[in-house]
């Protein structure tokens, strides 16, 4: 029973479609629906709006024309695209054919393939929505808006890129004035290393002074260095003597110096008597 009902419904739909097709044919025959006339009227309107941008490329069998679309005024790095339209027999009840490409007048700021495909997608969407009505003006307006937005987005991306480069340069410059952060642990480690280096330096310097003194002693024929020479060649002796004085452990026998003085005086007397 259900199959019979479905078959009946299908026949009714087919009859309706056939009836509508007959009505359309009758309307076109008597001039109530003339696609060519409607296309011609649209062309006249477009020529009045886009007098400088529209070029008629052919009129037979159907109109073929191109329109240059530019972005809005004051758009950074403006560019333009060119769309070539060709009417189809049943336009506007069917879509016109079209081809979108960069305009030859703006080669310095051409759209890339991704941006062009975005515009083509927008044309396809608005054309489907406008099916049954003349749509060229609507398509051109949509392309103008989307082209402007693409260029604005491009300029914004470029500006962000420049800002990022400047920020990186400033950060790099700032790092030149930023030292290593000092903590208690890092300071103690540095102090320990520094003390070891200073100790090694003192030992090396002390050893060098002693070696130099020995060389000088041997070059003098083995003669013993005086106290002054020892102090000149080994500065650590000064520090050693100072340490003893500070500790108070050094005692001096003054009588030794008195005997030495007396001996010197006797020698002077003997020398004077011999001269006389």
Check whether residue 4 and residue 48 sit in a common domain.
Answer: no
Check whether residue 14 and residue 83 sit in a common domain.
Answer: no
**CB neighbours of 240 closer than 8 A, spacing ≥ 6?**
none
The reply to whether 177 falls in a domain is no
Tokens 């340069």 belong to 169
User: Which of 147, 43, 25, 30 has the alpha carbon at shortest distance from 96?
Assistant: 43
The reply to whether 70 falls in a domain is yes
**CB neighbours of 186 closer than 8 A, spacing ≥ 6?**
180
Which pLDDT tens digit goes with each residue over 49-96? Answer: 999 999 999 999 999 999 999 988 777 777 899 999 999 999 999 999
pLDDT at residue 251, rounded to an integer: 54
pLDDT at residue 147, rounded to an integer: 92
Check whether residue 27 and residue 41 sit in a common domain.
Answer: no
Check whether residue 75 and residue 89 sit in a common domain.
Answer: yes
**Whole-number Å distance between alpha carbons of 83 and 143:** 10
Per-residue confidence at 98, pLDDT binned at 50, 70, 90?
very high
pLDDT at residue 125, rounded to an integer: 94
Which pLDDT tens digit goes with each residue over 226-261? Answer: 666 665 666 565 555 555 555 555 555 555 545 554
- Please state, rounded to an integer, the average pLDDT across all residues of the chain: 75
Check whether residue 128 and residue 203 sit in a common domain.
Answer: no
Look up the domain containing 232 and give its range.
187-266
pLDDT of residue 8 exceeding 70: no
User: Which of 39, 146, 162 has the alpha carbon at shortest distance from 90?
Assistant: 39
The reply to whether 274 falls in a domain is no
Check whether residue 46 and residue 148 sit in a common domain.
Answer: yes
The reply to whether 272 falls in a domain is no
Which pLDDT tens digit goes with each residue over 189-218? Answer: 888 898 888 888 888 887 766 666 666 655
pLDDT at residue 6, rounded to an integer: 40
């Amino acid at each position: 029973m259900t199959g019979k009902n479905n078959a009946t419904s299908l026949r009714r739909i087919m009859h309706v479609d056939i009836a509508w097709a007959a009505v359309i044919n009758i309307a076109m025959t008597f001039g109530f629906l003339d696609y060519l006339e409607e296309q011609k009227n649209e062309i006249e309107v477009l020529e009045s709006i886009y007098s400088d941008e529209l070029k008629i490329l052919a009129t037979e069998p159907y109109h073929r024309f191109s329109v240059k679309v530019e972005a809005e005024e004051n758009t950074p790095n403006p560019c333009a695209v060119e769309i070539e339209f060709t009417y189809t027999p049943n336009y506007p009840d069917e879509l016109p054919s079209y081809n979108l490409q960069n305009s030859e007048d703006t080669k310095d700021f051409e759209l890339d393939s991704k941006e062009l495909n975005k515009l083509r997608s927008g044309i396809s969407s608005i054309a489907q929505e406008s099916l049954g009505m003349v749509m060229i003006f609507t398509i051109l307006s949509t392309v103008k808006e989307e082209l402007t937005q693409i260029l604005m987005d491009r300029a914004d991306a470029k500006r962000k890129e420049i800002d990022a480069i400047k920020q990186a340069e400033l950060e790099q410059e700032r790092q030149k004035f930023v030292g290593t952060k000092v903590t208690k642990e890092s300071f103690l480690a540095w102090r320990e290393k520094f003390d070891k280096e200073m100790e090694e330096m003192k030992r090396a310097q002390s050893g060098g002074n002693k070696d130099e003194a020995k060389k000088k002693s041997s070059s003098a024929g083995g003669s013993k260095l005086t106290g002054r020479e020892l102090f000149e060649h080994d500065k650590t002796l000064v520090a050693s003597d100072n340490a003893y004085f500070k500790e108070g452990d050094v005692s001096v026998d003054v009588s030794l110096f008195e005997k030495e003085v007396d001996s010197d005086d006797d020698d002077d007397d003997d020398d004077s008597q011999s001269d006389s």
